[in-house]
Structure 1
Amino acid sequence: MTTMPSFEYEALDSGGRSKKGVVNADNPRLARQELRRLSLTPVSISAPREAQGGGPGAKAPARLNPNDLVIMTRQLSVLVGAATPLEEALNAVALQTEKPGVRKRMLGVRERVLEGWRFGDALAEDKKSFPDLYRAVVAAGEQSGDLAGVLDRLATMLEKNRSMMNKAVASLIYPAALALVAAGVVTALMVGVVPKIVEQFQTFDAELPFVTRLVIGVSGFLANYGLLLLASVAVGGAVFWRAMKAPAFKMSFDAWALTIPVLGKLLRGLDGARFARTLATLFAGGAPLLDSLRGASRTVGNAHMREKLETVIGQVREGASMAASLKRAGVLPPMMTHMVAAGERAGAVPLMLDKAAAQLEEEFDTASTVALRLLEPMIIVGMGGVVMLIVVAIMLPILRLNSLASG
């Protein structure tokens, strides 16, 4: 089916006010006629979308990044919630964005909607920009007749998930940078400073102290095999990265990661919050419970947790309660299973899932902040200890020389 070209226009209404929008027509002349039929005076009309890069050999516009998707969803939820027709809301969002690629994708979705496509089906033409979970939530909202409410919940879910991931990454940046600087300082001392001082001890007839010999040995190893050690670390990292693509290895590693003190709790809380908020969004949007569980389990990054949660789907299908099934899975925080059970008794599962997600997010934020505050001084103390060891290793022979000279 051939799609009618779309033209971006700027026109004046009968009151002299400037209007911007998109009109579908076969050519610019017919586009102007359509604007005059709408009592608008054309000021400017752009080239059709195909002529701006949509031809067969042209590069497709870039996919929407997560930030663009969050902003677009929030804008749509506000506009649709204000009783704006969907095609007008899509047009407004497209014209507000400053990114040409995003604008073209939104106008493409709008064209499909104008042709009578369901919103979820129109989004399916761009699966890279709109993931399966996103389209499933939108489709559930359309079926339930509450697209505005579902878009609002979807925007909130995307914002919360994005915020959680940003906090997790931000929590690791400073300690990683601090550890890298500490390793660089210690390596520079071992390779650049210690060998020069060792030369002064070559004429020392007595046996050097153990600490001095230890530091000299480490310094010599780094000087002779430092590059080989660095290459080995790089190769080991590459092998580990490839191994993580193997399902069996990733499953074992993720299961082990959950047993690490502090880190395991953080990972469990992070994935638990994402699972709870996604499940609440899907279920409240009108999706069947089994489909909601299936979609929410896909958002869990830990392979071991995801496998356990997938067994919950089978148990719920056989008639078991969701709370009991989640408890038997044993991978989510106990607080969450208790709140789900309370929600099932009160008939308010989405509400309790939202509260559980908020609680887990707060716990993750607190725990990561505490862990970060503990990790920073540990790295500083560790670096200080190594520097002190080097200083002691240098000073002990010097003090012994002084004692022999004075004796």
Structure 2
Amino acid sequence: MPVFAYKCLNNAGKVITGSRDADSEKSLRSLLRKEGLFLQEAKESSDKGKGLRKEINISFLNKVSVIDIALITRQLATLLRASVPLTESLEAITEQLASDKKRRKLGGILAQVKTRVNEGLSLAEALKLHPQEFDEFYVSMVRSGEAAGNLDQVLFSLTDFLEKQHKIVRKIKGAMTYPIVMVFITVVVIGILMTSVIPNVISVFEDTDQTLPWYTQFLISSSNFFSNYYMYVAIGFVASVWGFRKWKKSPSGRRRWDRILLSTPLVGGLVRKIAISRFSGNLSIMLGAGVPILQALEIVKSVMGNEILKDVVGTVEVAIKEGKSIASMLAASGEFPPLATHMIAIGEKSGQLEDMLTNVALAYDSEVDQAITQLTSMLEPLMIVIMGAIVAFVVFSILMPIMQMNNLGL
């Protein structure tokens, strides 16, 4: 993609210069216009390779982690609270990240943000150009903090939220590690048994006229099938995974899958509690930052992570426009438990909705921890039982015919 050096004017008539990747001068003009800038001159840089390398370096590196975003958010909040100007704060954090190989991509992104701020954009608008790293919720919070003059406070709130989300994700991953390892081991063991062990054992029965039990016949048939068609089995498995992912990304598939998750024992409860915590925490932070309730609900809706619960938030938006309360619509949906709706109702009646939402988030954070612990405590023995049952079935199917042969004197 070409790199253009440009000169433009902002709404105040200030001359701003800079450089940016764009497909063409027309595309550059359109991009700048969306930011309230009016292109005056543009010249394509001769060092196209540099721009291409820059694009490749940014695109193909791993995604920036949430904890890294939380780190720079806290650093920026600390510097701003110490009355360090925004541009100097960004410069200091950028220099620090440049020396860290693990966070070099984030350093490059922050350098671009700093450049845009120097060109006259607000911090929120500069961050908005990097939606993969800074989502709509993050950008809206920063915009509110800039408008209210309490950006440092908003950034500290954002940091706490991001760290909490990272903690939840880390716990879920930790809880799923053991079951995933057990599933992998089970698949490997079954593969070895079906393709190597059982075919050798089958030869013991081939020279006899013994009628084999149905379970042994089933085991032998399964072994023959996997031995002869393992390639087709592998292709079928990959195709099934691809098809499932494709279906889950479709609007109807996504909605259906989210409904299945909410209806699944243990898993559904965990998904619901995480969503309630996210809804309450996000809404509380945004209201505290001065974001209007309807705008806050629209943003919170986009980060719910579940289409069914997202629809519930959408009905709340409509209800507020009609003069109804948040709690009444959440209760009517049947998706939010009474504890959450009662606490929110009390907050609405007392005029302390922000504080009560914070309490709801804290309460459900604790329930999320308990749900993860409960899920882990049940999955581990369940996986052991499943793996043991499979191995026991194979051993039983092989030993029983052999014992019958011995009893018959064969």
Deviation of 1:329 (Å): 2.5
1:249-398 map, 5 Å: 249-398=253-402
Partner of 2:79: 79
Confirm whether residue 241 of structure 1 aligns to residue 245 of structure 2: yes
Deviation of 1:115 (Å): 5.2
Higher mean C-alpha displacement, 94-103 vs 231-240: 94-103
Give the aligned residue type for 1:384: G
Give the aligned residue type for 1:134: Y
Percent identity (aligned)? 30
Alpha-carbon distance in structure 2 between the residues aligned to 1:236 and 1:5: 49
Alpha-carbon distance in structure 2 between the residues aligned to 1:89 and 1:359: 35
Alpha-carbon distance in structure 1 between the residues aligned to 2:293 and 2:231: 55
CA deviation vs aligned residue, 1:67-99 (integer Å, no higher than 9, x gap) = 332111111112222333322322222222224
Q: Does the CA-based 8 Å contact 1:272-1:333 persist in structure 2? A: no
CA deviation vs aligned residue, 1:169-199 (integer Å, no higher than 9, x gap) = 3322321121111121022112211121111
Give the aligned residue type for 2:77: S
Q: Does the CA-based 8 Å contact 1:255-1:304 persist in structure 2? A: yes
Q: Does the CA-based 8 Å contact 1:186-1:383 persist in structure 2? A: no
Alpha-carbon distance in structure 1 between the residues aligned to 2:18 and 2:249: 43
Confirm whether residue 62 of structure 1 aligns to residue 58 of structure 2: yes
Partner of 1:12: none
Deviation of 1:223 (Å): 2.1
Q: Does the CA-based 8 Å contact 2:195-2:223 persist in structure 1? A: yes
Deviation of 1:104 (Å): 4.2
Q: How many residues align?
A: 363
Alpha-carbon distance in structure 1 between the residues aligned to 2:201 and 2:341: 62
Deviation of 1:128 (Å): 4.0
Q: Evaluate the alpha carbon distance shift between residue 184 and residue 298 of structure 1 in structure 2; reply closer, same or farther with a 3 A threshold.
A: same
Give the aligned residue type for 2:179: P
Confirm whether residue 165 of structure 1 aligns to residue 169 of structure 2: yes
Per the normalisation by structure 2, the TM-score is 0.81
Partner of 2:150: 146
Confirm whether residue 106 of structure 1 aligns to residue 101 of structure 2: no
Give 3-state SS (helix, strand or coil) of 1:62's partner: helix
Partner of 2:206: 202
Alpha-carbon distance in structure 2 between the residues aligned to 1:157 and 1:315: 27
Q: Evaluate the alpha carbon distance shift between residue 275 and residue 54 of structure 1 in structure 2; reply closer, same or farther with a 3 A threshold.
A: farther
CA deviation vs aligned residue, 1:107-142 (integer Å, no higher than 9, x gap) = 443344455543223333444432222111111112
Alpha-carbon distance in structure 2 between the residues aligned to 1:101 and 1:405: 73
Q: Does the CA-based 8 Å contact 2:18-2:119 persist in structure 1? A: no
Higher mean C-alpha displacement, 113-122 vs 245-254: 113-122
Q: Evaluate the alpha carbon distance shift between residue 276 and residue 205 of structure 1 in structure 2; reply closer, same or farther with a 3 A threshold.
A: same
Alpha-carbon distance in structure 2 between the residues aligned to 1:405 and 1:127: 75
Per the normalisation by structure 1, the TM-score is 0.81
Q: Does the CA-based 8 Å contact 2:67-2:162 persist in structure 1? A: no
Confirm whether residue 216 of structure 1 aligns to residue 220 of structure 2: yes
Partner of 1:24: none
Partner of 2:91: 91
Alpha-carbon distance in structure 1 between the residues aligned to 2:349 and 2:191: 61
Alpha-carbon distance in structure 2 between the residues aligned to 1:69 and 1:387: 46
Give 3-state SS (helix, strand or coil) of 2:211's partner: coil
Alpha-carbon distance in structure 1 between the residues aligned to 2:141 and 2:47: 32
Q: Does the CA-based 8 Å contact 1:73-1:154 persist in structure 2? A: yes
Q: Does the CA-based 8 Å contact 1:312-1:322 persist in structure 2? A: yes
Alpha-carbon distance in structure 1 between the residues aligned to 2:305 and 2:108: 31
Alpha-carbon distance in structure 1 between the residues aligned to 2:298 and 2:149: 22
Q: RMSD value over aligned CA atoms? A: 2.7
